Amino acid sequence: MSVAQPVVLGLVLALPAPGPRRDAALAAIAARPGLRPGELQGHLLPLTAETDDPMALHRWLEALPGTPAVDVAFVEIEPPTSPTLSPEPHAT
């Protein structure tokens, strides 16, 4: 049986107005393994996530009470393997 390789995602989550629903959403995000929240910017929360089921994670985030939107900003499906994609500068 093969195991799916984790996918790294950059997400932006729109949160409800300050209050109990926002507090509950933030607590649920903090408790979920694989999620790393960034600094809250108004009603927007940037997230980095590592998951082997990105669609399930997206559905879970959308289901948080009062969450109007989940935007995907970045997806890394597999790490680069080509030496030409290396961040190291090439000698000339």
**For the chain, which domains are there?**
7-78 (3.30.70.250)
6-34 pLDDT, tens digit per residue, is 888 899 999 999 999 999 999 999 999 99
Q: Dihedral of CA 32/37/41/44: which sign?
A: negative
For the beta carbon of residue 8, count every other beta carbon within 10 angstroms: 16
Q: Please provide the average confidence, as pLDDT, over all residues in the chain.
A: 83
Buried b (16+ CB within 10 A) or exposed e, 56-80: ebbebbeebeebeebeeeeeeeeee
Please indicate whether residue 55 or residue 84 has the higher confidence score (pLDDT): 55
